[in-house]
Amino acid sequence: MIIDVHGHFTTVPAAVPQWRAAQVAAKGKVAQVPPQPVISDDELRAALEDAQLRTQRERGIDLTIFSPQASAMAHHEADLAANIVWSRLCNDIIARVVGLYPRDFIGVCQLPQAPGEGLDASIAELERCVLELGFVGCNLNPDPSGGHWSGPPLFDRSWYPFYEKMVELNVPAMVHVSSSCNPNFQTTGAHYINGDTTAFMQFLTSNLFRDFPDLKFVIPHGGGAAPYHWGRYRGLAQAMKRPPLAELLLNNVFFDTCVYHHPGAELLAQVVPVKNILFASETFGAVRGIDPETGHHFDDTKRYFDAMDFLSEADRQAIFENNARHVYPRLHKTLLEADA
């Protein structure tokens, strides 16, 4: 089985982002926000069947862990009350997609974070999505300010109540920033990779996993700069008298394969232990075109790992399926029940 751990509903019907734009423009004046859009099942099918579904089937992907569009979370654009409504709308749409295509998708939720706000609403939405909608994880934004990094780091104790709920529910979080409001950091090429790398370094410099030994995070986009600079991070950990990375992080931190050329994917597979790599493509995501050097889509990431002759079949089985079942225990349980 091929499990893609990183998919977003980037082709959601246009009425959904149009409603969000109106909600943001209302600036907290609820009376000025139009009624939420009514999206039919046929509209959802039309948004998926000639896009996400067709592509993942063509590429041999059996199941995608699916969430709302990350850049559209845009926690910095509205207040907490508005973001609660927006997150529920987006998560309910994902639940409907899973209901329409239960063999193709399983849900991961957006959280109603907001700059300077606590996490009570995020805890409540995570619990709703896991216990009521059957979701298997969440996307956690380490920078709800949208590029200004004005909030506390991920090891700050203000995050601990949320981590306690993650452990209680037995779900991981993908660390995923949203759109950037800072012109110094383009969203997908800079802010996303900065967020991934920053999260990794925050984990390295903290005792978070001593306090939460069962907590699990997926760092997307191949881990940002971390695999490419693995020696730097090993050396920094050593200089800071931290434990080796394998002991400090690699029971709790995992990396996806959203790396869009063969040399980069190969570097990831050579540097990071196989047990810490989860297959992903982020289709359709930041890079949708065809690589003129290969004639294949940049985000057709499975073919990179198929071509690595140093990987054993057991390695590929781990990357394509088994590691996802380990990191997402509720996914594993759902799949076992489906096979029974």
The catalytic residues are 282
Distance of CA 94 to the CA centre of its chain: 14
How many other C-beta atoms lie within 10 A of the C-beta of residue 289? 9
Are the C-beta atoms of 269 and 277 separated by less than 8 Å? yes
Sheet of strand 63-68: strand arrangement:
3-9, 63-68, 105-107
The candidate with the shortest Cα–Cα distance to 216, out of 184, 258, 268, 175, is: 175
**Locate tokens 């709302």: which residue?**
68
148 Cβ contact list (under 8 Å, min separation 6): 76, 181, 182
CA-wise closest residue to 93 among 178, 9, 174: 9
C-alpha to C-alpha distance for 259 and 265, rounded to whole angstroms? 6
* C-alpha span between 120 and 161 (Å, rounded): 8
- Give 339's contacts (C-beta < 8 A, 6+ positions apart): none
Residue from 314, 321, 282 nearest 67 by CA: 282
Distances, alpha carbon 213 to alpha carbons 208, 216, 277, 338, in Å: 8, 9, 19, 30
CA distances from 272 to 55, 145, 228 (A): 28, 30, 10
Residues paired with residue 312 on neighbouring β-strands, in sequence order: none
Helices (H), the chain: 15-25, 41-49, 52-58, 80-100, 120-131, 160-169, 192-204, 208-211, 230-239, 245-248, 262-271, 302-306, 313-317, 323-327, 329-339
Give the bridge partners for 139, in sequence order.
174
